[in-house]
Amino acid sequence: MHDDTIDEIAQMRSQFELPATATDDRYHLCFALGKAYEDREVYAESFAWYERGNQLRKEGLRYDPDRLGAAMRRQIETCNEALFANKAGMGGQHPDPIFVVGLPRAGSTLLEQILASHSQIDGTMELPNIIALAHRLNGRRVVTEEAKYPGVLADLSAEQLLAFGDAYIKDTAFHREDAPRFVDKMPNNFMHIGLIHLILPNARVIDARRHPMACCFSGFKQLFADGQEFTYGLDDIVRYYHSYVELMSHWDTVLPGKVLRVNYEHVVHDPESQVRGILSFLDLPFEDACLNFHQTDRSIRTPSSEQVRQPIYTGALEQWRNFEPYLDVVKQGLAAEIKDYPRPE
């Protein structure tokens, strides 16, 4: 290491040890030290700081994996073939929205940037509208009360579903420009695809998927500004990934053809073929600008903003292997998902 780099690391470590250093400053220092040691290929030290930062961050949260797992199971129990058959033809018939969903750090920002480079698609941001609607449908209740959502979906009338769909289009217009289609890339919308289909049956959904080891570790080493509370412990990440895969499989079963799964590694290895497939799914013509997405000038507000300003590169695909000795929890917990994950041809 250069002398100035050693000095910067020493200063951060010293600041971390000071009793007066606030907890939020301490975990920020941990993640910064983890990245500093990772950049210098001191992986054992790097992982130790990432782990310490995650532990400190988690202590300040009230994350309950059992509650979240139960919420996903209720989606599977409630949003079945019978519900969608009973509500067929209802909702707003708008073809405008393209929902990009998935886990954080799985490539959703890259897909959004590719799509937003198309002349007929506006990029927006991680819009909160669908999640806000789900909260409204759940109603005010104490924690111990049974959730009303998604069970309440069965009671919604055709008029209500139409009104919700129309309201979504109206309320998101502020974020759009003049293109006929637009991207909503709120990753956690994967939990609400049933609701999306009921109020916007013509909307398309793209599931951004990444290799389990790469996706889980990338989330673990990222200090998020807000949300994604499951990422601050490897055990929690494994449980969440399990539930995510199970729920996405359910949507494939009850809403065949609604969701297009796009694997990050496939996009990196064969971008043109993947982009053509995505645009075909959206009933849009191919445009070269989608392959030159890094030249598209627009605001991006996610941790991946700098990566999508560059052409596609393969360097990030296997970075998790530098930390493989410390990731047995993920490797063992997601053995089936790892085995089934499709490799690029």
Question: Can you give the CATH number for the domain in which 110 is found?
Answer: 3.40.50.300
Same domain, 11 and 140: no
Same domain, 24 and 98: no
What is the C-alpha to C-alpha distance for residues 255 and 79, in angstroms, rounded to an integer? 10
Same domain, 31 and 112: no
**Residue 140 counted as domain residue:** yes
315 has pLDDT over 70: no
pLDDT digits (tens, 9 = 90+) for 164-190: 999 999 999 999 999 999 999 999 999
Same domain, 49 and 94: no
**Residue 65 counted as domain residue:** no
**Residue 66 counted as domain residue:** no
Same domain, 40 and 149: no
**Residue 345 counted as domain residue:** no
Same domain, 48 and 131: no
Average pLDDT over residues 133-138: 96
Strand stretches in the chain, DSSP E: 97-102, 121-123, 181-184, 204-209, 259-263
- Number of structural domains (the chain) is 2
pLDDT digits (tens, 9 = 90+) for 50-86: 999 999 999 989 899 999 999 999 999 999 999 999 9
**Residue 64 counted as domain residue:** no
What is the C-alpha to C-alpha distance for residues 185 and 111, in angstroms, rounded to an integer? 9
pLDDT band of 142, cuts 50, 70, 90:
low
pLDDT digits (tens, 9 = 90+) for 283-296: 999 999 999 988 76
Average pLDDT over residues 232-253: 97
**Residue 231 counted as domain residue:** yes
**Residue 143 counted as domain residue:** yes
Torsions phi, psi for 311 (to 5 deg): -60, 160
Percentage of the chain lying above the pLDDT 90 cut: 85
302 has pLDDT over 70: no
Average pLDDT over residues 143-148: 78
pLDDT digits (tens, 9 = 90+) for 91-105: 999 999 999 999 998
**DSSP alpha helices (H): ranges in 118-221?**
129-138, 158-172, 193-199, 212-220
User: In this structure, what token pair is assigned to residue 1?
Assistant: 């290491």
Domain coverage including residue 174: 71-340
What is the C-alpha to C-alpha distance for residues 194 and 79, in angstroms, rounded to an integer? 6
> Any idea what DSSP says for residue 20?
T
pLDDT mean across residues, the chain: 92
Amino acid 308: pLDDT: 47
Radius of gyration for the alpha carbons in the chain, expressed in angstroms and rounded: 21
Same domain, 80 and 143: yes
Same domain, 42 and 171: no
Of the candidates 72, 300, 107, the one whose C-alpha atom is nearest the C-alpha of residue 190 is 72
What is the C-alpha to C-alpha distance for residues 184 and 96, in angstroms, rounded to an integer? 10
Higher pLDDT, 146 or 311: 146
Amino acid 131: pLDDT: 97
User: In this structure, what token pair is assigned to residue 183?
Assistant: 């991207």
Same domain, 238 and 331: yes
Burial of residue 207 (number of CB atoms within 10 Å: 0-12, 13-18, 19+): buried
Pairing of strands 121-123, 181-184: parallel
Same domain, 119 and 41: no
pLDDT band of 305, cuts 50, 70, 90:
very low
Same domain, 91 and 197: yes
Same domain, 201 and 226: yes
